[in-house]
Copies of this chain bind each other. A is one copy, B any other.
Amino acid sequence: MKLSTSGLPQQGQHEGGEKKCLNSELWHACAGPLVSLPSAGTRVVYFPQGHSEQVAATTSREVDGHIPNYPSLPPQLICQLHNVTMHADVETDEVYAQMTLQPLTPQEQKDTFLPMELGVPSKQPSNYFCKTLTASDTSTHGGFSVPRRAAEKVFPPLDFSQQPPAQELIARDLHDVEWKFRHIFRGQPKRHLLTTGWSVFFSAKRLVAGDSVLFIWNEKNQLLLGIRRANRPQTVMPSSVLSSDSMHIGLLAAAAHAAATNSCFTVFYNPRL
């Protein structure tokens, strides 16, 4: 059994025909400063029971108690992390990560040198701002009011010889979709606004007052655009496929099977806890 095919964080596409890797700095910005991802090639500890309880919380269903015991499954698995890919839900833009884990035998844990990941918090990009949407921002009556410092820091400078100064902004979201906005500096007192294009964006993303938007100006002079939804206690899962019992069993059984055969298994990590 070979262990480390590559220590490099390989972020290629996976699972036939899916997206290329998402923009990493935008993903981390949407996930927030407290969320960190271990690197591929390192060693991580996986807690099947804890993960199962997390999933239980999102499905908001009781476990009926029909879950079999997996006596061979230890409460924590030392694994090698083979692969980490960043994803975002197509519908909600919710960020999550997919990891390929391989349990290590006690012998391998001794033999193999693999750095233990400590979960360094990801550094947030420097040229970015995040604003929580007001009632006016999400009303159909007008546009989006950009805080002054934010506009000056992350938007390209306006040509103030025009009256009023205005430009078109193009920003890409996590799915690489382009959104165009008219950025104008006007009013009395003067202010930065996003007008045309703003309502298309916030209605497409179904943003409401209390949600946040986030603009990044990166080193490649690209404007990136992400969202963070307010903590609504929703997350009612699509229950129409698998019972919550089967989901819990699946989680535990997959880990147990991988531990027993030292083979890889896949988990999804949802940073919102």
Contact = CB atoms under 8 A, between A and B. Distances in A.
Interface of A: 15-16, 55, 58-59, 61-62, 64, 66, 68, 87, 89-91, 94, 96, 98, 236-243, 245-251, 253-254, 257-258, 261, 263-268, 270
A58 B237 CA distance: 16
Contact of A268 (B242, B249, B250, B267): B242
A206 to B, nearest CB: 12
B61 A240 contact: no
B238 A238 contact: yes
A68, A261, A264 — most chain B CB neighbours (10 Å)? A68
B265 A254 contact: no
Given A58-B241, A242-B242, A242-B251, 17 more contacts: A15-B61, A16-B62, A55-B242, A66-B254, A66-B264, A66-B265, A89-B240, A239-B268, A240-B270, A241-B270, A243-B254, A246-B254, A247-B247, A248-B250, A249-B249, A249-B250, A250-B250
A228 to B, nearest CB: 16
B246 A237 contact: no
A43 B105 CA distance: 45
A263 to B, nearest CB: 6
Contacts of A58: 241
B240 A62 contact: no
Contacts of A267: 243, 246
A67 to B, nearest CB: 8
A247 B238 CA distance: 13
Nearest to A264: B66
Contacts of A268: 239-243
Nearest to A69: B257
A247 B264 CA distance: 15
Contacts of A90: 236
Nearest to A58: B241
B258 A87 contact: no
A254 B67 CA distance: 8
A253 B253 contact: yes
28 contacts: A15-B62, A16-B62, A66-B258, A66-B264, A68-B257, A68-B261, A87-B240, A96-B240, A237-B238, A238-B238, A239-B268, A240-B268, A241-B247, A241-B268, A242-B242, A242-B247, A242-B250, A243-B266, A243-B267, A245-B254, A246-B247, A246-B251, A246-B253, A246-B265, A247-B250, A249-B249, A250-B250, A250-B251
